[in-house]
Amino acid sequence: MLDRELHQLDDPQEFGRLWQGFMTARLTLGLVLMLLQSALYFTGSTHSKVQALASAAYFASTLVSKLWIKPRRLGRSFNPAWGGLVGLDLLVFSLLQLVQDNSGINYTPLFALPILLASVLGSLRLALGTAAGVTVLLLGGTLWTYLHSTIDATTPRFVQAALSGVGYFAIALLANQLASRLASEGQRARRSQLAATVQRQVNELVIESLPDGVLIVDDRGCVRAANPAAQQLLVSQRARQSPVFDLRGEAGWRPLLNLTRLSFGTGRTQEEDVTIRMEGHGPRRVRARTRLAAPLGTDGESLCVLFLQDQRELEARMRTEKLASMGRMSTAVAHEIRNPLAAIAQANALLEEDLEDPRLKQLTAMVHQNTKRLEKIVDDILDVSRVTPHGRGLAAPALALNESVQQICLDWAVQNGSQQRLGTRLPDQALQVRFDTDHLRRVLVNLLDNASRYASQQTGAIQVSSCLQGDRHAAVSVWSDGAPMDQSVERHLFEPFFSSESRSSGLGLFICRELCEGHGASILYQRNVRPVGGQPSEGNEFVISFLRTTTDTPWQTTLY
């Protein structure tokens, strides 16, 4: 256990700094010894050239070690590395101690430097071996003095050498143990730092991949960190360009700033639905929730973690869950209703054949009308469960968009007697898109029925057109000059079972959207201006965007 090399530092930079420190100390000591011995020689205090030459040679060797020798460990035992550093020091210091004359200088304390060098840069065995070598040299020097000196002070000199040896053993042991402890703590600190770095990277990866926005805000309203989702929700270049920004910098962020201040003021978690309004962007409804982080230490700064959840995504998830449960129940109920409904319709038809009273025939006509309405509702409910899952329609065969739209519009206009109200503006040659023909007919007929219900009776009150959208998409628009929708109706326009009329099932636009998304297309609603009777008129427009396979062609305008 004593030979463990925990003190052998794993960090090359740390070991390099330690090495350079010892080399600088040796170089400084060599310079001092050379200057001291030179001064003593030239002032006549000593007549020995050996000390001056030994000091000069030692200074030269330390200079070489400082400039050209790379940092290297001394190992566990005596080796050339030990001999080139520690051994050289012991040799020079022993020589100075041995040949000292009447100058009265004691060189014994200099042996502490090689012992420290071996203790810190080598193993415990090497450190104790070096201390033992120094002790032997001191005792040998004392014995040499005893044999060649006439001064009777043998006992004190031997006692002094022995005490110095004991002190050097203590220095070697303590220095090695301290170096081992520091190295062990350094390794533990590096492991902790590495673990903290890995944990921080994992946390950053998790936070960046969260669908919800996360903001770290201080008590002054300064955002310290924000994940990409939060930057997207804040809809500002300032939030995207700089990782640190101030919530006071944009008026649209005022609700978030007020919520964080309320959380700091009360010391409690706050939750509120806020609306972020930025210039050039539509309002963004966000559910914001705060949570205060405990300050680090007594003087630590308190931070507030602000979680932002897009209400649109939340509503989409709720809608998906609602559709999943509602679809199963609706399908089961629709199947149960269809059989008795067919029996009622058949019985009503048989009853109508035997009736001659006009009043009774009027009643059977009402029964027939409402059974047809119920059958349509049942069909719509069943269609919800038959809609192609998203992405599967991408395998549908290519469809000549303009030819199909033109034929569908013609059939609808003839059937509804709306040849004058409906106008189309389509290219001469068909655009090729990926969409099922029957599904396209259902979508357009539904949109045309809705347009006919709210449009005026003027010529061109309903208009169908197509255009290109970039290199990969084409769009078909169904426009009518109806009145604008209420915002509450527009917000839930494509939701199932939502309708502004009590006699509607509320599934038409929902099925249109599901059919479009099932083929990789999309549908949206907007207000737009079109010419009607030579005058610009504002109206409601539904735009369907398709995946395209061919290029654009010239325009053609037709009124049925």
Among residues 547, 535, 354, the alpha carbon closest in space to that of 460 is found at 535
Q: What is the tens place of the pLDDT at every residue in 474-515?
A: 889 999 988 887 776 777 777 776 665 655 656 778 888 888
Yes or no: say if 420 and 461 are a contact pair by the CB < 8 Å rule.
Answer: no
Per-residue model confidence (pLDDT) at position 6: 39
Type of residue at 554: P
For the chain, list the domains and their CATH numbers: 12-189 (no CATH), 208-314 (3.30.450.20), 315-386 (1.10.287), 392-559 (3.30.565.10)
Report the C-alpha gap between 58 and 31 in whole angstroms.
9
Q: How confident is the model at residue 369 (pLDDT cuts 50, 70, 90)?
A: confident
What does the CA dihedral 253, 256, 257, 263 come to, rounded to 10 degrees? 180
How does the average pLDDT of the chain come out, rounded? 79
Residue 311 predicted with pLDDT over 60? yes
Q: Which residue has the tokens 């009607």?
A: 532
Tokens of 137: 């040299």
End-to-end CA distance of the chain: 100
Report the C-alpha gap between 180 and 120 in whole angstroms.
8
Cα angle for residues 538, 544, 550 (degrees, 5° grid): 120
pTM (2 d.p.): 0.45
Yes or no: say if 487 and 506 are a contact pair by the CB < 8 Å rule.
Answer: no
Among residues 457, 476, 456, the alpha carbon closest in space to that of 405 is found at 476
Q: Which residue has the tokens 């000593």?
A: 46
Q: How confident is the model at residue 373 (pLDDT cuts 50, 70, 90)?
A: confident
Helix H, strand E, coil C: the string for 23-63 is HHHHHHHHHHHHHHHHHHHHCCCCCCHHHHHHHHHHHHHHH
Residue 236 predicted with pLDDT over 60? yes
Among residues 68, 38, 69, the alpha carbon closest in space to that of 52 is found at 38
Backbone angles phi, psi at 196, to 5 degrees: -65, -40
